[in-house]
Structure 1
Amino acid sequence: MSPGIGPSGTPPRRGQSARWRGALDLLRLVRREPGITRTAAARALRLSSGSATDIAARLRDLDLVEESPVTPTGRGRPTTALGAHPAGPVVVAVDIRHEDYEVAVVDLAGTVVRTERDRHPGDDPGWLLGRLRTSLDRIRRRYRHRLRAVSIAAAGTISHGRFVQASTLNWYDIDLDALQPRRTRLPMLVGNDATLAGVAEARRHGSRTTLYLTVEVGVGGILVDEGAPVTGATGAGGEFGHLPFGDPALACPCGAYGCWDLDVDGRAMARYRGDPPPRDPRSYAGTTIGLAAGDPDAAAAVERCATALGRGIAGLVNALDPDSVVLGGLAGPVRRLAEPALTASYTSGLMAFRRAAPPPLRTAVLGDRASILGAADVAFDAFLTDAGLTDWANR
């Protein structure tokens, strides 16, 4: 099993063999911009029209891309649109969430061609691993050589490729290598769900250095630099919710005290409203946010969370120096309902030199698909290499 989430978001061109020079660049471009015309691709990659045509034809013969006619505009030579070949490579992206899971088959263009989801009991990771193993074996039998990698997004802490802690589920030290399809040793990558969501969002927002933060049960996120997540020495980087930005008297299920998590999610909202700790912090937060327009207590709870959220964002911006901040999950609705409070705490927490042009706060665009798409992104990163294409050509 690959540690962390594997290869970087933008694989380096250095060392790229002559055999696949140009081909990998074009395939990565088709992944970023499915449906791009061959003419536009040549322009983006600074290729001659003839070179782009030759590379596209080669990739078409290898069942890697499909060329579709484009309605003529009356100007210039006819061109084609480039997309995923119907017999081309696919990857499996798995999203293990707090209450359910999803298994998706994704093609080169980022299209989910098959998906299944179900709830899991929460207290029995063995049951879930068995169900996932069955699903992956079924997918392997159906797609055979087309299946190139498996990528898992998990709602917990990942270290050295293992699911070491999901404190809200009471899951600890789970070896996901047991999910390897029988008789086939595919590249298998494992990443935190917020990390992978951040990869997907950052690549689609187009910023060079993006700080992604999402509020679900606590705060997750990642710093993404030029498409690659900064996951640290063991792959556990990005556990921003466990920074000591909160009340030091409060014990977190992770084992630390004063975690930021406890000041921004449904547990905080319940505490601010004088309610007992909720069984499902995410549902409680959603209900409170829904009530905030007409309930002063709910509105005050959301505002306190927004203030804590803004203050923590400022600290991370001061430390990490991103050029943009993307907010996912419940962070978006919290910001929308209590924008003045969040903006004031964010601005006041910034170092003075940053206040004239602070990194903009943007709303995530992928919703609950972000983790699945991010898992697929890094799975294709693992495939789109010299070795990956050589193996595909020799299949």
Structure 2
Amino acid sequence: MASLRRRAEEARWHTASQVLAWLRLHPGGTRAALAQDLQLTSGLATELTGRMRALRLLAETPAPPQGRGRPTTVLTAHPDGPVVLAVELRMADWRHATAGLDGRLHSRGGARHASREPEAVLAEVRKAVENASERYGDRLCAVSLAVAGTTHDGRLAQSATLGWRDVDLTTLTSVPLLLGNDALLAGLAEARTGAAVGAAAALHLMVEVGIGGAFTVDGRPSGGAHGAAGEYGHQPYGDRSLSCPCGARGCWDLDVDGRALARHLGAAEPADPRGYAREILRRADPAARQALDKVAAALGAGIGALVNVHDPDTVTLGGLAAPLRAAAPETFATTYTSGLMAFRRGRPPAVIDAAHGDDGALQGAALLALDHVTSEAALASWSARQP
């Protein structure tokens, strides 16, 4: 009987969950637009939003004046509602931000790694979690971590970028912890609220140190059986004479980031490939232009191969992928098109820059946490805790 009552209570929150998902896609939307998009009657929309206001989930504020006419209000996240903490771990640094139910990032922070040892890095992240917990109390409902590696069952199974293997992440927080690969979460962000909104099938690729990505269908990315899907950088699209830190040879990773640029320029492998790539992108000398041309060629050819695999409507480029393409657009276009199967070349999928830019993984981590926080079960639990 208790389980039946619990399921009935959670079912009451299904529409509320849809409202909050709509809010993230339509920040500043009106109640009338909400009712139209979700096919609610005006009365039901008024009743539902009123109940959600009382439970500190929604707020309604006056819309900016637009000449004569009846004043209206817009829906926003309640200022005292649930919040989530999103964290991104990268090779050289880490950063964090909080987000309310509208998914907007604020209260940002982070730092470069003083040490890349797991204990030292995770200790700094744990401090950020503790600070957020002190600030928000029981309003902090989830922590989400985006990391350049493969996560499974609360552990970072492997990160060739960080040099970590089998690291327990569950000690970071006592509130629910969500984990995901950084590129996969960036793809989630583009599919839900970015450049790939509306695409039935979208391929997202992100270059940082190496290249990763996500294939999403109707806004849902696949993490695979063990969270390792989207490790595109470890496909053998590169030079087979090169050995990758992951243990394989010929990985595409090694041909599309700062390590490839350094190799083409005859320089030593950089300690921070991401920062090194940004330096080369700012240069205009012939040697730098030639190195960038080679990397853009490798990027385009690999994307063509992945389009053959996944058949997406749209391809989005995040991180350094967009400026690397822009550095040699003709070379990229040639190798991308030549890598496609012949029947695709008449109407190849558009390759466009990501909307979230450098914030893709952090935004995706926030959305992953909000998926949890706005589930029917979590909303029922939040409701039960309100006075």
Would you say 1:284 and 2:276 are equivalent positions? Answer: yes
What CA deviation, in whole Å up to 9, does each residue of 1:161-209 have, x standing for no partner?
Answer: 321222233222111001023xxxx221111111111111222221221
Q: Secondary structure at the match of 1:277?
A: coil
What CA deviation, in whole Å up to 9, does each residue of 1:252-292 have, x standing for no partner?
Answer: 0111000001111111112222222222222222222222x
Please give the alpha-carbon distance, in whole angstroms, between the structure 1 residues aligned to 2:176 and 2:116.
28
Would you say 1:192 and 2:181 are equivalent positions? Answer: yes
Q: Pick one of 198, 223, 232 that aligns with 2:215.
A: 223
What CA deviation, in whole Å up to 9, does each residue of 1:14-53 have, x standing for no partner?
Answer: x995412422211111122121011111111111211111
In the other structure, the counterpart of 1:341 is 331
Would you say 1:210 and 2:202 are equivalent positions? Answer: yes
Please give the alpha-carbon distance, in whole angstroms, between the structure 2 residues aligned to 1:23 and 1:286.
43
In the other structure, the counterpart of 2:378 is 388
Please give the alpha-carbon distance, in whole angstroms, between the structure 2 residues aligned to 1:29 and 1:168.
36
In the other structure, the counterpart of 2:18 is 25
In the other structure, the counterpart of 2:110 is 117
Q: Pick one of 97, 122, 140 that aligns with 1:129.
A: 122
* Cα distance change, pair 21–367 in 1 and its aligned pair in 2 (3 A): closer
Map 1:85-164 → 2, pairs under 5 A:
85-164=78-157
Q: Pick one of 74, 99, 124 that aligns with 1:81.
A: 74
Tell me how far 1:78 sits from its aligned partner: 5.4
Structure 2 counterpart of 1:115, one-letter code: R
Tell me how far 1:143 sits from its aligned partner: 1.3
Would you say 1:352 and 2:345 are equivalent positions? Answer: no
Tell me how far 1:337 sits from its aligned partner: 1.6
More displaced stretch, 365-374 vs 17-26? 17-26
Using structure 2 for the length normalisation, give the TM-score.
Answer: 0.92
1:99–1:122 CA contact under 8 A, matched in 2? no
Please give the alpha-carbon distance, in whole angstroms, between the structure 1 residues aligned to 2:66 and 2:277.
51
What is the percentage of aligned positions where both structures have the same residue?
48
Q: Pick one of 30, 44, 51 that aligns with 2:44.
A: 51
In the other structure, the counterpart of 1:255 is 247
What CA deviation, in whole Å up to 9, does each residue of 1:369-394 have, x standing for no partner?
Answer: 11111101010101111111110001
Would you say 1:375 and 2:365 are equivalent positions? Answer: yes
Please give the alpha-carbon distance, in whole angstroms, between the structure 1 residues aligned to 2:321 and 2:122.
30
Please give the alpha-carbon distance, in whole angstroms, between the structure 2 residues aligned to 1:238 and 1:121.
29
Q: Secondary structure at the match of 1:22?
A: helix
1:217–1:265 CA contact under 8 A, matched in 2? yes
Q: Pick one of 363, 366, 372 that aligns with 2:353.
A: 363
* Cα distance change, pair 288–103 in 1 and its aligned pair in 2 (3 A): closer
Tell me how far 1:336 sits from its aligned partner: 1.0
In the other structure, the counterpart of 1:322 is 312
Structure 2 counterpart of 1:324, one-letter code: T
2:146–2:361 CA contact under 8 A, matched in 1? yes
Structure 2 counterpart of 1:112, one-letter code: L
Cα RMSD over matched residues?
A: 1.9
Please give the alpha-carbon distance, in whole angstroms, between the structure 2 residues aligned to 1:25 and 1:218.
36
In the other structure, the counterpart of 1:238 is 230
Tell me how far 1:364 sits from its aligned partner: 1.3
More displaced stretch, 276-285 vs 168-177? 276-285
Structure 2 counterpart of 1:227, one-letter code: G
Tell me how far 1:362 sits from its aligned partner: 0.3
Q: Secondary structure at the match of 1:150?
A: strand
Q: Secondary structure at the match of 1:394?
A: helix
Please give the alpha-carbon distance, in whole angstroms, between the structure 2 residues aligned to 1:343 and 1:118.
37
Tell me how far 1:106 sits from its aligned partner: 0.9
1:160–1:235 CA contact under 8 A, matched in 2? no
What CA deviation, in whole Å up to 9, does each residue of 1:277-314 have, x standing for no partner?
Answer: 222222222222222x3x22211111111111111001
How many equivalent residue pairs? Answer: 375
Which consecutive residues of structure 2, in runs of 5 or more, have no partner in the other structure? 1-7
Please give the alpha-carbon distance, in whole angstroms, between the structure 1 residues aligned to 2:55 and 2:339.
54
In the other structure, the counterpart of 1:34 is 27
Please give the alpha-carbon distance, in whole angstroms, between the structure 2 residues aligned to 1:229 and 1:262.
25
* Cα distance change, pair 256–21 in 1 and its aligned pair in 2 (3 A): closer
Which consecutive residues of structure 1, in runs of 5 or more, have no partner in the other structure? 1-14
Structure 1 counterpart of 2:215, one-letter code: L
2:11–2:376 CA contact under 8 A, matched in 1? no
2:318–2:358 CA contact under 8 A, matched in 1? no
Structure 1 counterpart of 2:225, one-letter code: A
Please give the alpha-carbon distance, in whole angstroms, between the structure 1 residues aligned to 2:71 and 2:288.
59
Structure 1 counterpart of 2:221, one-letter code: P
2:188–2:220 CA contact under 8 A, matched in 1? yes
Structure 2 counterpart of 1:197, one-letter code: A
In the other structure, the counterpart of 2:164 is 171
